[in-house]
Amino acid sequence: MQPLLKQAVAALGWRGLLVPDVAVLGQQVSAVVRLRRDVHTWRSRNGWPPQADPSWFRSWFEPDRHRHLPVAAVELVGVLVNAPAADRALQSCGTLMTLAPCVVVLPETPPVGSWSVIELDYYGVGVVAADRARRSANLVVPPEDRSAEFGPSLFGRWLLEVLYDRVVEAQPTDVTTLARELRARLTAEVNGPEVTAQGTSAPGVDASGVNAPEVPAPGGGAPGVNRQAEAGHSSGWVG
């Protein structure tokens, strides 16, 4: 099914990493995400790996556990859900349509003007007809991004961690980044550690000694944000 998913993504004009077969709300869905490489680099260096375990992820939002939280390292471009027929497609999208553009992938083109298609279009759910025999996909109804109407959610933020975990597993080691880090360490050994004046903090560390991110976050902040600000989601390339 993955080749057809790639065709569906191409028909939608989405660009990003295709993450297939993600278990969400009792069903298997696929997603297209973009990796925020600056945030990914910071999280990798500062001990914030993907947290796909729901119980551990919830601990991020307990005041006595963490002062700072990283922003999501991936942006959700859209979600694809396989549905056997158009009349069941709206139920298949469900909560997912509140997070990002949601598209149902049907095995055949639904009748033009059918009530099911009109209903999907009304709720902003996209429709792509995938022809397995011809290995092609046709965009029937373009999706709409309704996520702003619903706002951020803890579920959406957790889903971004799940997708980030899948992306990290699939990504090869970045040799360039490793070489840059090794060069920086050698330079530090030659020049000695930096000394900061009394009463000041070293870069990336706040006054209490807690590591603070140095890369920008959506909206102009830094990835180390408080638990309230980051409770929601942020929104290899295909095509």
Model pLDDT for residues 61-118, shown as the tens digit of each residue: 676 666 666 789 999 999 999 988 888 788 888 889 999 999 999 988 887 778 888 9
Question: Is residue 52 in a domain?
Answer: yes
Nearest to 79 by CA among 12, 140, 129: 12
234 vs 111, residue with greater confidence: 111
Q: Cα–Cα distance between 196 and 225 in angstroms, integer? A: 24
Q: Are the C-beta atoms of 54 and 37 separated by less than 8 Å?
A: no
Instruction: Please measure the distance between the N-terminal and C-terminal CA atoms of the chain and give it in whole angstroms.
Output: 16
For the segment 180-201, what is each residue's pLDDT rounded down to a tens digit?
A: 554 565 566 556 544 333 333 3
Q: Cα–Cα distance between 196 and 199 in angstroms, integer? A: 8
Q: Are the C-beta atoms of 68 and 210 separated by less than 8 Å?
A: yes
For the segment 8-49, what is each residue's pLDDT rounded down to a tens digit?
A: 999 999 999 999 999 988 889 999 999 999 999 999 998 888
For the segment 209-228, what is each residue's pLDDT rounded down to a tens digit?
A: 333 333 334 344 444 443 33
Within 8 A by CB and 6+ apart from 19, the residues are: 30, 31, 32, 33, 163, 166, 167, 170
| AA letter at 89 | A
Angle, vertex CA 72, rays to CA 81 and CA 23, nearest 5: 30
Can you give the residue range of the structural domain that contains 59?
Answer: 2-176
Question: Is residue 213 in a domain?
Answer: no
Question: Is residue 192 in a domain?
Answer: no
Question: Is residue 207 in a domain?
Answer: no
- Per the structure block, which two tokens stand in for 108? 């055949």
Question: Is residue 193 in a domain?
Answer: no
| AA letter at 213 | P
Question: Is residue 226 in a domain?
Answer: no
Q: Are the C-beta atoms of 117 and 106 separated by less than 8 Å?
A: no
Judged by average pLDDT, the poorest of 90-94, 136-140, 145-149 is 90-94
Question: Is residue 222 in a domain?
Answer: no
pLDDT score of 159: 93
Question: Is residue 197 in a domain?
Answer: no
- Per the structure block, which two tokens stand in for 199? 């009463």
**pLDDT band with cut points at 50, 70 and 90 for residue 163:** very high
Which helix (H) or strand (E) segment is 168 a member of?
helix 154-170
Buried-state track 129-151, b at ≥16 Cβ within 10 A, e below 16: bbeeeeeebebbbebeebbeeee
Domains held by the chain: number: 1
Mean pLDDT confidence for 161-173: 86
pLDDT score of 199: 36
- Per the structure block, which two tokens stand in for 37? 């490489």
| AA letter at 204 | G
**pLDDT band with cut points at 50, 70 and 90 for residue 177:** low
- Whole-model pTM: value is 0.69
DSSP-derived secondary structure for 94-156: GGGGGTS-EEEEESSPPPTT-HHHHHHHHTT-EEEEEETTTTEEEEEE-----HHHH---HHH
pLDDT score of 239: 43
pLDDT score of 128: 93
